[in-house]
A and B are shown apart, each in its own frame.
Chain A
């Protein structure tokens, strides 16, 4: 698959403090975050970040609180200026943009969804949804049909004339998403967009986002501190720790081959059977002599396979894609893949 790179982040550094350039030299020589704070009173926000964000995909940035996720996402639309490095959108350098051009980019290329919703409290739901168009000069009459359409799409039909404070948190965030969609920008930045919501509502919102993404294929940068959420949403997963990328790639891959104790700790107590998919743990050979117990789809998760097996550990399944056999999976391999360690099974396909 030839993926187009939408946003490219190269050697990005961010240091907070009065003289970041001086501190940058120390950081480039390898000083860590704690020492920099102790000895130079500067906060290391980001160190040498290199991430390519693919067009039409969901890139999830995950890390504990304070790891620099918000700082990183705010560099993309330059709400925060970098200390050093390069950011390109469609191959163009974002850092070169003048004030007016940058405003243009924020209006037309990137929209943002916030953890605390950040709606205008004195405006109705309709006016909030149309905010991006209003900023570009449209009146309510101009943007009404567009706003109503997207509000309905996120499940807010009939709430147009209410005020944000009259809605629940989940509904307010739906307005936040509608506001981003109405702006019709190809890139959506979502900073912990669902973290303030109750677990059930959060799961609904994740489903909504995936459903919308299936239709719209936006380039989404999604931030979370929740691994389950990251695994559910991500096409590409970036794990941050103390302002550094510790690992990035296909989420299934990271799960099977964590390269850092930090990540191992992260993934230790998730439900691997639900998250891992057949394609990540299957054997890429098909032996026609074997008596297969049945066919699996490559995107089935292992929980489905377990229930299909009925607890019989001797069974071997065939894996099919579009009706064609592409591999096999024995229950033995499956069981090994469920063991939560940093040691991956040998059969893992990259």
Chain B
């Protein structure tokens, strides 16, 4: 006897319930009850269970248990998985190649080439010797404590993913800024990507792709990090001075000229702020993605946790902080240069 028996008899569903009386999977709670010999019957109103799927199943075996819901979802996903990967696999294959290529290139090029190139890039985008010295010292410190390879792996992944985020994110942002419908459709997706805990959307990805492929973590990082650059491109273009847009129209610019000569240049400070956030979020995600075999400093953090290897974990964490500071300073400094050249 269970609480909601009377409900099903009142509805005249006793027959239907009895038909479902197959021995379904037993839940842990059932097992415990059986072992302790207690009946599931509540003593008073105080103990009345919520009419949940499991409680209703107690009274009527034909009623599905909540476990069947999760299992159904899994089965459904598995059923479409093959078809889905048939499409997704070839599309995403270049991502694997570029990640593997970047990793291979960064690690196999000697350090005395990689570090000067990085410093040259830093100088090019920031024009600041102070930053060049800071970045050089930080990289040398990481190399000195033998974390060079891990740091380069992390950087390689960030470069590839952040580049792809900009490559796709800016056009999406532009499309959003030109059509309100597009904006209405895209914003919920961005909201979802931004609020889902990163661990959660690793789950379907693990089913879709094999853990040995680098595109698995590549996609995870891109999905997580693309949001700010899309949002800020859209915002930046929508915030461009209406008077300047009007002048562009009044002098007869085509929509294309307007986009490239006015809207994008004037939105550039906002777009660059988005790129900065995108890079920082890639760094956050590349650490989490070490759970699904992304190489780099995250692996050491993970090892630190798994093996209770306090020293390794802490130093790897310190390395991540250094990378974060470098990436943030460099992108902010180039952003400041853009701002300085166009403040009105």
* Complex CA distance for A110 and B247, rounded to whole angstroms: 12
Q: How far is the CA of A120 from the CA of B260 in the complex (A)?
A: 12
Instruction: Report Cα–Cα, A120/B268, bound state, in Å.
Output: 13
Measured between C-beta atoms, what is the minimum distance from B97 to chain A in Å? Answer: 37
| Complex interface: chain B residues within 8 A of A122 (CB) | 265-266, 268, 341-342
Once bound together, how far apart are the Cα atoms of A131 and B251, in whole Å? Answer: 8
> Nearest CB to that of A106 among chain B residues?
B252
Q: Is A135 an interface residue (CB 8 A)?
A: yes
Q: Of the candidates B243, B257, B344, which one forms a contact with A135 in the assembled complex, judged by CB atoms under 8 Å apart?
A: B257
Within 8 A of A (CB), among B241-268: 241, 243-244, 246-247, 249-254, 257, 261-262, 265-266, 268
Pick the interface stretch among A4-12, A111-119, A330-338: A111-119
Q: How large is the interface on B (under 10, 10 to 19, 20 to 34, 35 or more residues)?
A: 20 to 34
> Which residues from chain B contact A114 at a C-beta distance below 8 Å?
243, 246-247
Chain B residues, CB < 8 A from A189: 250
Q: How far is the CA of A103 from the CA of B250 in the complex (A)?
A: 9
In the bound complex, CA of A131 to CA of B247 (Å): 10
B265, A112: Cβ atoms under 8 Å?
no
Is residue A72 contacting chain B, with contact meaning CB distance below 8 A? no
Residues of A within 8 A of B250 (CB): 77, 79, 106, 110-112, 189
B249 and A118 within 8 A (CB): no
The docked-state distance in angstroms from the alpha carbon of A116 to that of B242 is: 11
Q: Does B39 contact A (CB under 8 A)?
A: no
Interface status of A163 (Cβ within 8 A of chain B):
yes
Q: Report which of B243, B247, B257, B344 forms a contact with A165, defined as CB distance below 8 A.
A: B344
Query: How far is A121 from B243 in the complex, measured between Cα atoms in Å?
Result: 12
CA distance in complex: A119, B266 (Å): 12
A103 and B243 contacting across the interface, CB-CB below 8 Å: no
Give the chain B neighbours of A107 by CB distance below 8 A.
Answer: 251-252
B262 lies within 8 A of A103 (CB): no
Is the interface on chain A under 10, 10 to 19, 20 to 34, or 35 or more residues?
Answer: 20 to 34
* Residue A67, interface by CB 8 Å: no
* B251 engages A163 (CB within 8 Å): no
Contact A116 B243 (CB under 8 A): yes
Q: Let me know if B252 and A103 touch, CB within 8 A.
A: yes
Q: Which of B206-256 contact A (CB under 8 A)?
A: 241, 243-244, 246-247, 249-254
A118 near B244 with CB under 8 A, answer: yes
Q: Does B343 contact A (CB under 8 A)?
A: yes
B247 and A118 contact, CB distance less than 8 A: yes
Q: How far is the CB of B244 from chain A (nearest CB, A)?
A: 5
A132 is an interface residue with CB less than 8 A from chain B: yes
Contact A120 B262 (CB under 8 A): yes
Report if A251 contacts B (CB, 8 A): no
Are the CB atoms of A183 and B251 closer together than 8 Å?
yes
| Distance from B4 Cβ to chain A, minimum over Cβ atoms (Å) | 54
Chain B residues with Cβ under 8 A from A134's Cβ?
261
Q: Are A132 and B251 in contact, CB atoms less than 8 angstroms apart?
A: yes
Interface status of A145 (Cβ within 8 A of chain B): no
* Whole-angstrom CA separation of A114 from B252 in the bound complex: 15
Please, which residues of chain B bring their CB within 8 A of the CB of A183?
Answer: 251
- Asked if B252 contacts A163 (CB within 8 A), the reply is no
A–B Cβ pairs within 8 angstroms, 21 of them: A79-B250, A103-B254, A106-B249, A112-B250, A112-B251, A114-B247, A116-B243, A118-B241, A118-B247, A120-B244, A120-B261, A121-B343, A132-B251, A135-B252, A135-B253, A135-B257, A163-B341, A165-B342, A165-B344, A183-B251, A189-B250
The 7 closest A-B pairs by CB, nearest first: A106-B252, A107-B252, A118-B247, A118-B243, A112-B250, A103-B252, A122-B342
Q: A111-B250, A121-B344, A135-B253 are in contact. List 16 more A-B contacts (CB 8 A).
A: A77-B250, A79-B250, A106-B249, A111-B251, A112-B250, A112-B251, A114-B246, A117-B243, A118-B244, A119-B244, A120-B265, A121-B342, A122-B265, A163-B342, A165-B343, A179-B251
- Contact surface of B with A, Cβ cutoff 8 Å: 241, 243-244, 246-247, 249-254, 257, 261-262, 265-266, 268, 341-344
